[in-house]
Amino acid sequence: MTTRLTELLNIKYPLLQGGMAWIAESTLASAVSNAGGAGIIAGGSAPIDYLREQIRRCKELTDKPFGVNIMLMSPNAEDLAQLVIEEGVNFVTTGAGNPGVYVPAWKEAGIKVIPVVPTVALARRLVKAGADAVIAEGTESGGHIGQNTTMCLVPQVVDAVGAEVPVIAAGGIADGRGVAASFMLGADGVQIGTRFLASSECQIHENYKNAVVKAKDTDNAVTGFYSGSPCRCIKSKYTKKLQEMEKNAAPPEDFEALTVGSLRKAVVDGNVEEGSMLCGLIAGMITDVKPVKDIVEEIMGGAEKLLGNR
Ligand code: TUI
């Protein structure tokens, strides 16, 4: 399946793995790259030495292209922006902000730049600034989200910048139907996160994986609407408490007490009551944990059939 994205990154399938903070590390990223997609190591707010080690480990585990996601709200973003240059990764994706200030240095270092854009305006601005592709991410995604949906945002971003750069659809895609639909909207590829949470190679705690597999269509919650940092998770005691506090306009220190370390509690400790289990809206469709290679082949094989490529 050749598209402008497979050509840009020199990969077999037009599929990026989501750069999920605290979750996407070298084992998962290398498995996705080895399966023919493009794996991504999440910078999140991890220490720089840890990320350097993860990048080097990923190079040992795959000879295929992989990327690093830089979460721009992280206090480490500037150091990580420099680290990817020093370590020479193939591409960066960015999230939770405008990466404009870093683009010239990345381009000069030969790193492909692929920002997440939740709006048409940011897509236009970043393509002018030199982005090589953009990820149009709908609000169906897990974690930190924008307002527009994949179905509405992707074709608008395609109309705005698709003549210049490949557009990658993200948010609510977990099988061949979602990939085929994304192509119908004009995308050149997809980014998939939630499906890979339930993969054998994903290093999250078993309890978190089981929660993804068990989740129904309605087991999803968005918190942080009022703080301006909306975040999509699996519904739990944690999200209920957070939503109650938002309704009652609790003081900032109460929010901090509840949220600081909550992602670690889910990912590392498997604490499904106090942890924040970031997860997309499509989780209801995911019913099993299996190896990344099987997931990628099932998704892309399904899409090829629907698109008449096979
Ligand atoms: O970044 C994500 N998803 C994430 S990051 C994350 S870790 C986190 N922890 C605490 C607070 C916030 C995040 C968990 N999930 N997805 C990509 C994404 N980027 N979604 C929305 C955006 C975005 C939002 C605004 C991108 C650009 C943007 O620009 C605003 C501007 O400056 O124009």
Say whether both 63 and 29 belong to one domain: yes
Say whether both 255 and 296 belong to one domain: no
Say whether both 184 and 224 belong to one domain: no
Print burial letters for 117-136: b (CB count within 10 Å at least 16), e (below 16).
bbbbebbbbbbebebbbbbb
In angstroms, the CA 206 to CA 183 distance is 33
Look up the CATH number of the domain holding residue 85.
3.20.20.70
Give how many domains the chain has, as a whole number.
2
Say whether both 187 and 269 belong to one domain: no
CA 86 from centre of chain: 23
In three-state secondary structure terms, 167 is: strand
Model pLDDT, residue 55? 98
Over residues 57-84, the pLDDT tens digits come to 999 999 999 999 999 999 999 999 999 9
Please report whether residue 154 resides in a domain.
yes
Model pLDDT, residue 284? 98
Q: Establish whether residue 43 lines the binding site of ligand 1, counting it when its CB lies within 6 angstroms of any ligand atom.
A: no
Mean pLDDT across the chain: 96
Say whether both 106 and 174 belong to one domain: yes
Q: How confident is the model at residue 228 (pLDDT cuts 50, 70, 90)?
A: confident
Q: What angle do CA 241, 243, 248 make, to 5 degrees?
A: 95
Q: Establish whether residue 118 lines the binding site of ligand 1, counting it when its CB lies within 6 angstroms of any ligand atom.
A: yes
Please report whether residue 159 resides in a domain.
yes
Please report whether residue 210 resides in a domain.
no
Please report whether residue 211 resides in a domain.
no
Q: How confident is the model at residue 241 (pLDDT cuts 50, 70, 90)?
A: very high
Say whether both 303 and 195 belong to one domain: yes
Model pLDDT, residue 141? 98
Q: How confident is the model at residue 1 (pLDDT cuts 50, 70, 90)?
A: confident
Residue 134 bridge partners (DSSP): 167
Q: Establish whether residue 143 lines the binding site of ligand 1, counting it when its CB lies within 6 angstroms of any ligand atom.
A: yes
The position carrying tokens 């990628």 is 296
Say whether both 117 and 81 belong to one domain: yes
Inform me whether the pLDDT recorded for 183 exceeds 90. Answer: yes
Please report whether residue 266 resides in a domain.
yes
Model pLDDT, residue 92? 98
pTM for this one?
0.97
In angstroms, the CA 120 to CA 158 distance is 9
Mean pLDDT of 150-177: 98
Mean pLDDT of 212-232: 92
Say whether both 74 and 52 belong to one domain: yes
Q: Establish whether residue 21 lines the binding site of ligand 1, counting it when its CB lies within 6 angstroms of any ligand atom.
A: yes
**What share of the chain has pLDDT > 70, as a percent?**
99
Please report whether residue 245 resides in a domain.
yes
Q: What angle do CA 140, 198, 181 make, to 5 degrees?
A: 40
Neighbours of 206 (CB within 10 A): 9
Inform me whether the pLDDT recorded for 10 exceeds 80. Answer: yes
Domain of residue 235: give its range. 216-278
Among 20, 141, 144, residue to substitute to test ligand 1 (most atoms within 8 Å of Cβ): 144
Model pLDDT, residue 310? 58
283 neighbors 234 (Cβ within 8 angstroms): yes
Inform me whether the pLDDT recorded for 232 exceeds 90. Answer: yes
Mean pLDDT of 260-277: 97
Please report whether residue 18 resides in a domain.
yes
In three-state secondary structure terms, 176 is: helix
Please report whether residue 17 resides in a domain.
yes
Over residues 75-115, the pLDDT tens digits come to 999 999 999 999 999 999 999 999 999 999 999 999 999 99
Say whether both 297 and 239 belong to one domain: no
Inform me whether the pLDDT recorded for 227 exceeds 80. Answer: no
Among 98, 116, 139, 279, residue to substitute to test ligand 1 (most atoms within 8 Å of Cβ): 116
Instruction: Write out 261-279 in H/E/C secondary structure.
Output: CHHHHHHCCCCCCCCCCEC
Model pLDDT, residue 245? 94
Residues 6+ positions from 180 with CB-CB distance below 8 Å: 302, 303, 306, 307
Say whether both 156 and 272 belong to one domain: no
Say whether both 40 and 161 belong to one domain: yes
Q: Establish whether residue 146 lines the binding site of ligand 1, counting it when its CB lies within 6 angstroms of any ligand atom.
A: yes
Q: Establish whether residue 229 lines the binding site of ligand 1, counting it when its CB lies within 6 angstroms of any ligand atom.
A: yes
Max Cα–Cα distance, the chain, nearest Å = 57
Inform me whether the pLDDT recorded for 256 exceeds 80. Answer: yes
Mean pLDDT of 43-56: 96
Say whether both 181 and 48 belong to one domain: yes
